């Protein structure tokens, strides 16, 4: 059974400018291109569509929902990494610090978030496309590759990471396109 993790399209604002930006015009175009690309290679009519509750993920899912006529399920588990108590102005610096950490160095809210992501993936029972975020994709791919680092992969906007679930086992098939620039 296939699971695709799709990073949202380009956000209209960065992490230190808005807690929940929608997509930029480029991001909306990326979302359409992502749908066209994936639907040309895979029959998507039997997939569940799942999204983070954040606008940029939901807006990335829009072309899939509209073209496939499939309801979008919102799951908190696929929301970006929690940063409780961190102000908007401090977020970017805080996030850059998280990039350098090992999994064992995560604090309690981030460890719980990580565990919830992996638990939610374990419960998936049919082909699924998940619209999510940079850090979520890192948690999943890092776990499947048995990486110690929180960030080991820089998924581009609308990159598609493919996982296969066989019984209870998850296997990373391919990571999406990678980008070495700022995360928004």
For residues 81 and 77, give the distance between their C-alpha atoms in angstroms, rounded to a whole number: 10
For residues 125 and 102, give the distance between their C-alpha atoms in angstroms, rounded to a whole number: 30
Q: What is the mean pLDDT of residues 57-85?
A: 97
Counting Cβ atoms within 10 Å, is residue 31 exposed (0-12), middle (13-18) or buried (19+)? buried
Q: Look up the pTM and report it.
A: 0.95
Q: 48-51 and 128-132: which strand pairing?
A: parallel
Q: pLDDT of 28-54, one tens digit each?
A: 999 999 999 999 999 999 999 999 999
> What pLDDT shows up at residue 181?
59
pLDDT surpasses 80 at 182: no
Q: What is the mean pLDDT of residues 133-151?
A: 97
Q: Which of 36, 49, 37 is nearest to 4 (CA)?
A: 49
Least confident of 19-28, 75-84, 89-98, 130-139: 89-98
């Amino acid at each position: 059974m296939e699971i695709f993790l799709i990073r949202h399209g380009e956000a209209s604002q960065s992490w230190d400018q808005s807690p929940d930006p929608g997509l930029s015009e480029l991001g909306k175009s990326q979302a359409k291109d992502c749908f066209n690309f994936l639907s040309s290679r895979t029959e998507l009519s039997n997939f569940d569509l799942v999204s983070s509750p954040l606008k940029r993920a939901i807006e990335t899912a829009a072309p899939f929902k509209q073209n496939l006529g499939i309801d979008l399920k919102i799951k908190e588990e696929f929301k970006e990494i929690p940063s409780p108590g961190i102000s908007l102005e401090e977020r970017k610096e805080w996030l850059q610090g998280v990039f350098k950490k090992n999994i064992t160095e995560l604090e309690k809210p981030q460890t719980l978030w990580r565990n919830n992501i992996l638990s939610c993936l374990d419960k998936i029972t049919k082909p699924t496309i998940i619209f999510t975020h940079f850090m979520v994709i890192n948690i999943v791919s890092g776990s499947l590759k048995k990486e110690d680092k929180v960030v080991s992969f820089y998924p581009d906007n609308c990159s598609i990471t493919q996982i296969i679930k066989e019984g209870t086992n998850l296997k990373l098939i391919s990571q999406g396109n990678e980008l070495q620039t700022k995360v928004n």
